[in-house]
Amino acid sequence: MPRPEVGTGSIYRIATYSGIEIVYYDIRYHVASPFVFASNGRMVELQFALSGQRQVMVSDQLHELPVGKGALAFMQNFKARFYPPVPERYVSLSLGIPVTLFDYAANQLATSLNRQFEFNRVLDGKPSRAYYFDIDVRSMAVVKQLISDFRNDNRSPLMMEASALELLNRHMIQLFDLTPRPRGLSKDDLQKLHRVKQVLESGMADPPSLQALAKMAGLNDFKLKSGFKACFGLTVFEYLRHIRLDYAMKLLRNGEANVTEAAMAVGYSNVSAFSEQFFRRYGVKPSEIKNNYNPFDRNISF
């Protein structure tokens, strides 16, 4: 909690078993003075800006993170100045990633592509480097879930760690272009298939038809079906079902909807069919999830 004369709000923090430090800031600063911090160590941080533009000067280089953007930042032997967004509300989620974990993930993800991008290679002797991205629908859903978990008496540290690892894996693959390229697909095809994935995530309740998806992406029907399966390991319909059920699970866990409301929110008009698919995926009925979770704060939105 900041000192009263500096600002008001809350900081939530948890360290996972793998060493990831998940930090959620919800602060309104009253003083525009910058905060200075320095370290002789090495840092990897995955950042998500939700409210209030973030400005950090690292070794005479200004890094700005507007609302709705994220960054994967690398730093070593650095001195930084953080300029608070006065008087805006500052809301962000950050994941402090152990360098050993990042290097392990980098080696695992890049092995089949014959590429190397460990921490030292990324920085190449420089004090800092950042890769920026737009926060897509799936990432925002995971970020909101982590924020909700912080405010949930029944939160599961293992589920929070799984969410953090999903975010790290997702953005390492995107930022370092690590999606394996199946035979017969060009780099342009991969980008189009990723756009299809994002369309499904943003419109899961009322998704376009396969024909409409193919037209939107600029792919023929065969390449959409076979390429999606080759890239993501699931058919288009299987992936849609997974993200629908995952989002329904989030609604039920957080007490944001009853079973019928959750089913309708993700595009199921038949509650019985929804319950059957839910049980097949999770091995538990949706009504049991609703009964077993009782978060004390249900009103989180950005």
Taking only the tens place, the pLDDT of each residue in 81-107 is: 888 878 888 899 999 999 999 999 988
In a domain, 247, yes or no: yes
In a domain, 169, yes or no: no
pLDDT of residue 34: 81
Same domain, 87 and 221: no
Same domain, 237 and 123: no
Structural domain ending residue among the three candidates 135, 150, 165: 150
In a domain, 301, yes or no: no
The gap from C-alpha 110 to its chain's centroid, in whole angstroms, comes to: 20
Same domain, 132 and 56: yes
In a domain, 159, yes or no: no
Is there a contact between 16 and 157 (Cβ–Cβ < 8 Å)? yes
Same domain, 29 and 83: yes
pLDDT of residue 173: 84
Structural domain ending residue among the three candidates 103, 132, 150: 150
Same domain, 21 and 142: yes
Strand partners, 10: 26
CATH number of the structural domain spanning residue 245: 1.10.10.60
d(CA 160, CA 14): 9
Number of Cβ atoms within 10 Å of the Cβ of 251:
20
pLDDT of residue 301: 37
CATH number of the structural domain spanning residue 78: 2.60.120.10
Same domain, 222 and 277: yes
Q: Stretch 24-34: mean pLDDT, rounded?
A: 85
- pTM, entire model: 0.70
Q: 116: pLDDT confidence band, cut at 50, 70 and 90? A: confident
- Of the candidates 182, 204, 207, 203, the residue with the CA atom closest to the CA atom of residue 193: 182
In a domain, 85, yes or no: yes
Q: Poorest-confidence range of 40-49, 104-113, 252-261?
A: 104-113
Q: 212: pLDDT confidence band, cut at 50, 70 and 90? A: very high
Same domain, 12 and 142: yes
pLDDT of residue 291: 52
pLDDT of residue 47: 95
Query: How does strand 69-83 pair with strand 61-65?
Result: unpaired
Same domain, 103 and 223: no
Label each residue of the chain as H, E or C. Answer: CCCCCCEEEEEEEEECCCCCEEEEEEEEECCCCCEEEEEEEEEEEEEEEEECCEEEEECCEEEEECCCEEEEEEEEEEEEEEECCCCCEEEEEEEEECHHHHHHHHHHHHHHHCCCCCHHHHHCCCCEEEEEEECCHHHHHHHHHHHHHHCCCCCCHHHHHHHHHHHHHHHHHHHCCCCCCCCCCCHHHHHHHHHHHHHHHHCCCCCCCHHHHHHHHCCCHHHHHHHHHHHHCCCHHHHHHHHHHHHHHHHHHCCCCCHHHHHHHCCCCCHHHHHHHHHHHHCCCHHHHHHHCCCCCCCCCC
In a domain, 165, yes or no: no
The whole domain housing 100 covers 7-150
Percent share of the chain, pLDDT over 70: 91
**How many domains does one find in the chain?**
2
Same domain, 224 and 93: no
In a domain, 2, yes or no: no
Same domain, 215 and 272: yes
Same domain, 209 and 109: no
Q: Is pLDDT above 70 for 61?
A: yes
Q: At what angle do helices 137-150 and 236-253 cross, to 10 degrees?
A: 20
In a domain, 175, yes or no: no
Structural domain ending residue among the three candidates 128, 150, 172: 150
Q: 12: pLDDT confidence band, cut at 50, 70 and 90? A: very high
Strand partners, 91: 26, 51
* Measured CA angle at 53 (ends 52, 57), to 5 deg: 135
Burial class (CB in 10 A: 0-12, 13-18, 19+), 242: middle
Same domain, 132 and 207: no
138 vs 294 pLDDT, higher one: 138
